[in-house]
């Protein structure tokens, strides 16, 4: 992971923390994935909380002149994916996170 990516991931984690996201983890998938280099996974308390965390991250990234490539799942609020290119952020409800177990899949 390069320095710029490190700085961006620290910025992302800070913004997730600002919105009270829980259990924030970073998974380095460099060389394991052709889509991204780093996954950041966190949990929200409810559909509204998950959507709010993701929406705040999108706003903060745009303000920092690093707009996301895409955002998926905001309507459902179960699992919102924010694609930042080299970093993909997964904001999930606990049940969804437990079911898909991304941490086990990629570590």
Q: Using a pLDDT cut of 90, give the percent of the chain over it.
A: 80
- Strand runs labelled E in 1-107: 22-28, 38-44, 70-72, 79-83, 87-93
pLDDT > 60? residue 1 = no
Tell me the CA distances in angstroms from 30 to 13, 22, 38, one per residue in order. 19, 24, 7
- Give the integer Cα–Cα distance in Å for 95 and 98: 5
In tens, the pLDDT along 17-61 reads: 999 999 999 999 998 888 899 999 999 999 999 999 999 999 999
The structure's pTM equals 0.93
Rounded mean pLDDT of the chain?
93
CATH number for the domain formed by residue range(s) 3-106: 3.30.460.10
């Amino acid at each position: 992971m390069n320095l710029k990516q490190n700085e961006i991931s620290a910025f992302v984690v800070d913004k997730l923390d600002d919105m009270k996201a829980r259990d924030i983890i970073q998974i380095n998938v460099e060389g394991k994935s052709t889509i991204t280099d780093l996954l950041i996974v966190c949990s929200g308390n409810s559909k509204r909380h998950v959507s709010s965390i993701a929406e705040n991250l999108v706003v903060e990234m745009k303000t920092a002149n690093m707009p996301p490539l895409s955002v998926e799942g905001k309507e459902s609020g179960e699992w919102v994916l924010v694609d930042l290119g080299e970093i993909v952020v997964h904001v999930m409800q606990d049940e969804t996170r437990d079911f898909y177990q991304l941490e086990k899949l990629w570590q």
